[in-house]
Structure 1
């Protein structure tokens, strides 16, 4: 082949290959822009893999073809080819690492139902794939990886000693997720007083979102060693106990009937109550007053105060209507509804005469 034509063909391949790569990437972008393709379905994973590989794979393949067309190059063909192959391996490694992390995330979500617990395993998967890809790329460049592995074995001990706290947090995070002592989405309380929803377990720390919205960052090692109360396991519903005291002159059967009616109404209509649990009433004190407890169950631990508030408000209204007397500081108070006040009727004759007041 004529030398100018050879170089022209090589240059054309160098120009056309990236253009084809970007064009193919646009196609994958359009196919993957649909809302259903943003999930981790098999089709979505394939589209994302094709998008990640389209530009580097076609561009580097075009360069490999281009350097093979001319007979004589100013640089060694083998060196250029090995360099491009190493770059191609690294590009494929990045794409495969992302695909593997997405697959691990999908598996963890299928097992636990919450994607936040997959961040630690996804990070470990990426690091493992990157390490393998780098070793393969070094081998393609003609670099022997056997001495490198030996050096890494010796240096790994020094690195482990230097990163002792970091490694402790990594293994503690794996222990937290593997034992399922707590999963993202659970409402937990530590022995140090912090409580809230478990937001995420990362490679270094655990994040707890408090009810006001603040984030509490706890190292994984401290979280694993803490005395933990998990209000979401084995069941998310929580007992709510309301203490009440009424006067001794009340009919206790009447008091119990009214209280249970209100409790059942709350359980049946409140969004914070667990409807599968019936309310319970138990008398426990006999003295200047009759004390008893009403036990309800909220759907979640954070809902217990709201459920108790709704129940107390409705019960107070029913006690007033039924004239049930409550015990307050040694004094029995009768809750009688006050519909109106008897006020004197003002007539024209009873109005003061300001004009003649002087």
Structure 2
């Protein structure tokens, strides 16, 4: 899929300069493009643009079902800083609801992925609300058409609703909390979150009353939305999906720490899941214990959902590398001393 960069966007909408793969291919009239795509504006997202508008926040409106955009591919709007300052433009109403493929910028790929998660979160929630409201309105309209006194029913429902509200305060609180989650967006479907001290896993569904979280061992927690609003939530998938992994080992005293550091870092060589986006891998002495030297290997992986697989995998590679290099792990053990020369040690007694 080709990527078009909109470089010039005058306030009168007269022309647009399109660039494909850094080569200017045509100058199009905005009126013709506008007529082609229609006015199907929906949804907003904010990005931090690259290039000569770095540091400028610009809002795009995404359009759907566009013949022009399907032909052209993903459109990324970029406006010159001078134009933004002169024309007082803070928003650019152009974009595309199409996926980004083979993009040179990893940033835009993450933006698209995040947007897909948001759509998967909000759409089911909005559908449920729409169904409830639509059915209610249809029933009231139908009863009114057949001669039923809707006003008296509405009055009775009002009194009944008050009684139900008093009896179902907790349920209503969870529903209101569901609206708060939908508006505030602390997490999306697909995010790995942790309710500190309670549970951890991937969000699979956000409902009106509760949220489903699939744990690492494939169990599903059904958490009332009020608990999510009241408690401290750790979202490991936001703002990035990277995750720091820590591997701890304890070795005997006497080894050259630079040699041990090289051995531990070498196990990360050619690992595609390891990233340096948030920091390069490092090895540090953490403590000197009674049994040996405590050392930790720190590194980041690209996807938080791979944290346990990578932790187990790298720990096994460290173990094999230490055995190969004859680096001995330390462990707590008890040494006894006796002043009686005739007393035999437990090891001696076992052998004899």
- Give the TM interval when normalised to the shorter protein: 0.5 to 0.7
Alpha-carbon distance in structure 2 between the residues aligned to 1:110 and 1:319: 44
User: How far apart in 1 are the matches of 2:294 and 2:171?
Assistant: 54
TM-score (norm 1): 0.53
**Per residue, is there more helix in 1 or in 2?**
1
Which structure's residues are more often strand, by fraction?
2
2:209 is the alignment partner of 1:209: no
Q: Deviations over 1:68-94 (max 9, x none)?
A: xxxxxxxxxxxxxxxxxxxxxxxxxxx
Say which of 139, 146, 152 aligns to 1:141: 146
Deviations 1:132-189 (A, max 9, x none): 2223223333445344434433433223223323222211111122211222212222
The runs of at least 4 consecutive aligned structure 1 residues that moved more than 6 Å come to: none
| Candidates 284, 287, 290, aligned match of 1:285 | 287
Q: How many residues align?
A: 222
Aligned partners of 1:127, 1:175: CA distance in 2, in Å?
Answer: 18
In structure 2, how many angstroms separate the alpha carbons of the residues matched to 1:193 and 1:255? 37
Question: 2:313 maps to which residue?
Answer: 310
Secondary structure of 1:284 counterpart: strand
CA distance in 1, matches of 2:217, 2:202: 11
Partners in 2 of 1:142 and 1:218 — Cα distance?
A: 44
Partner Cα distance (1:162, 1:329) in 2: 59
Say whether residues 1:322 and 2:295 are aligned partners: no
Rg: which structure is higher? 1
1:295 deviates by 0.3
Counterpart in the other structure of 1:297: 300
Q: What's the CA shift for 1:306? A: 2.5
Q: Secondary structure at the match of 2:267?
A: helix
Give the alignment partner of residue 264 of structure 2, picking from 250, 259, 264. Answer: 259
**Is 1:126 equivalent to 2:128 in the alignment?**
no
Gaps of 5+ in 2: 1-63, 67-113, 335-352
- Equivalent residues of 1:114, 1:185 under 8 A apart: no
Name the Cα RMSD after superposition: 3.1
Matches of 1:125 and 1:156, distance apart in 2 = 20
Q: Secondary structure at the match of 1:185?
A: coil
- Output the TM-score relative to the length of structure 2: 0.54
